[in-house]
Amino acid sequence: METRNVSLRDRLRALRAGDSFPGRPSPDRPPGTAPKERPAPVPGDPERGPGAVFPAGWEGEGWVYTRTLFLPRPSLRGDPLVFFPGLDQAPEESSLLFYDLETTGLSGGAGTTAFLAGVGELVPGAFKLTQIFLADYPGEPEFLARLQELLPSSRIWVSYNGRAFDTNLLKTRFLLNGLPFSPGPQLDLLYPARRLFKSLLPDCSLTTLERRVLRKPRGRDIPGAFIPARYFYYLSSGRAEELSDVFTHHCRDILSLAELYGHIPALLADPSSGVLSGEYDPLGAAGWLMGHRNHPRLFALGLEHLRQAYLRQVPGAGLKLARFYARRAEGDRAFRIWQELFQQGRDYASGLALAKDLEHRQKDDSAALGVTEELLSLFGGTRGLPELLKRQARLKARLSRPGPPG
């Protein structure tokens, strides 16, 4: 039955007219008047084309603009191999590309677009940074094609959270625009950064790392959360100068990324001073470095972090080190650590490890019983009561049995 011979426009109008129903003045316009004409945005205007008010320093026409900056070259210190647990040798500096995107939202999904991309590389005497800007949506295929040219899959893509976010977003954008996408091998600094700094910092954002790890105050900066709104404002107003904060923010992000790449290996080079400095979490560093299983030198560097941390009495270091020795079948070393820890701290974990080691490895039931009973008196009723009682009963039973004949 056709009962709706009314256009959607009429219904929408009626719906909105409800705001200005008799006796209820509309807040923004008198009843019956048409909505205000909005100024036609300049970029994206199909007749005039975009870019009429685009700021200097950028080149291009149509929908896509680029600029290239030569920034101070970050110093690379230490062995960057620490970033590459799978490789035998750190890649050449010249094969690295540092990249980052600014997007219209953080939630992902098909409706989130990248509008600004930057790719930095280490060239003799400078850090060469190229930014590509999408002046309006229709330019996206060109934007992406330019980006892929700058980011060939033959180079190593260095990013901060690029593995989970930027690359996935690009994959979607290329797909939606019917373009092939070939990502290069990824180095995402977020993963080592989390190991090293998570326990020391309120969060692991690049901005926080920049301030607290690189010790570079940013001064005036636009918070990342405001960036999409700034872009939308530019799109509707055509005021590209509103974006200069965003462009600067984005440059700094990529530069900091490269600096972080140079900074972390240096930080890890000397465990004894590193542990003392408190600039990173030595246990996280040990865990990360000891992940280089095929690389004896870096593995040893990780172990040295653990050892130094133990010597400096970093909480948890002793237990980790002892567990490492125990797994390596260096039981006596492990035992000495547990013994020392328990003597100093009377803590449950090392006490229990001690009791287990005495009972099972050293077969010294009476010493094991002694530790178990001490634990019972220290923690009886608060921790591990059933387990301790079981252990106590087992040890007692064995001790009261006559020894083996002969």
Partner 1 sequence: MDERQAELTSVLEELKADPSFMSCVTRWEKIPPRPGEYRDFPSDLNPLLREALLGRGIQRLYSHQARAYEAVKEGKNLVVVTPTASGKTLCYNLPILQHLLSRPNDRALYLFPTKALSQDQQAELNALVQTGLPLRVSTYDGDTPQSLRISAREKGRIVISNPDMFHGGILPNHPKWIKFLSSLAFVVIDEIHIYRGVFGSHMINLIRRLKRVLSFYNCRPVFICCSATIGNPAELARRILEEEVLLIDTNGAPAGEKHIILYNPPLVDQVQGIRRGLTTEAQRIALKFLKRKIKTIIFARSRIRTELIASYINQSLANYYNNNRGIRVESYRGGYLPSERREIERGLREGEIQGVVSTNALELGIDIGGLDVSILSGFPSSIASAWQQAGRSGRQAGLSASFLIASSAPVDQYLAAHPDYFFSRSPEDAYVDPDNIYLLMDHLKCAVFELPFKEGDSFGRGSAEGLALLEEEGVVRRTAGRWYWSDRSYPAEQISLRSLASENVIIIDRTLGKDEVIGEMDKRSAKELIFDDAVYLHRGEQYQVQKLDLDSLKCYVIRSEVNFYTDGLVKSDLHVLKEDLAAEKSGLSLILGDVLVRSQVTKYKKLKFHSGENIGYGDIYLPEDEMHTRGLLLVMDPRLTAGRIFRDFSPPEQQIIISRLGGLVKTAALLFILCDRRDIGLSERLKDPHTGFPTLYFYDNQPGGTGLCEGLLEHLPQALRAARELPEGCPCEAGCPSCIGAPDPGDPESNPKGVLKRFLAAWIGEA
Measured at the alpha carbon of residue 177, what is the angle toward residues 171 and 183, in degrees to the nearest 5?
A: 30
Question: Which whole-number Å values give the CA distances from 87 to 80, 294, 328, in the listed order?
Answer: 11, 9, 24
8 binds partner 1, rule: CB under 8 A? yes
38 binds partner 1, rule: CB under 8 A? yes
Q: Nearest to residue 129, comparing CAs of 103, 159, 150?
A: 150
Q: Nearest to residue 51, comparing CAs of 137, 135, 117?
A: 135
**What CA–CA distance (Å, rounded) separates 247 from 232?**
15
Residue 216: helix, strand or coil by DSSP?
coil
Q: How far is the CB of 231 from partner 1 (least distance, A)?
A: 9
Q: Which is nearer to partner 1, 18 or 315 (CB)?
A: 18
Half-sphere exposure of 32 (CA within 13 A, CB side): 1
52 binds partner 1, rule: CB under 8 A? no
Q: How far is the CB of 41 from partner 1 (least distance, A)?
A: 8
171 binds partner 1, rule: CB under 8 A? yes
34 binds partner 1, rule: CB under 8 A? no
**What CA–CA distance (Å, rounded) separates 222 from 254?**
15
Q: Which is nearer to partner 1, 6 or 329 (CB)?
A: 6
For residues 303 to 342, the per-residue mask of contacts with partner 1, x marking binding by CB under 8 A and - elsewhere, is ----------------------------------------
180 binds partner 1, rule: CB under 8 A? no
| Residues facing residue 121 across a β-bridge | 128
15 binds partner 1, rule: CB under 8 A? yes
Q: How far is the CB of 204 from partner 1 (least distance, A)?
A: 20
Residue from 129, 144, 150, 235 touching partner 1 (CB under 8 A): that is 235
Residue from 136, 188, 210, 259 touching partner 1 (CB under 8 A): that is 136
Tokens of residue 36, six digits: 């205000």
**What CA–CA distance (Å, rounded) separates 261 from 78?**
10
Q: Which is nearer to partner 1, 94 or 168 (CB)?
A: 168
Tokens of residue 236, six digits: 């509707």
Contacts to partner 1 by CB under 8 A: 1, 3-12, 14-15, 17-18, 21, 35, 38, 41, 44-46, 104-111, 113, 136-138, 171-172, 175-176, 228-229, 232, 235-236
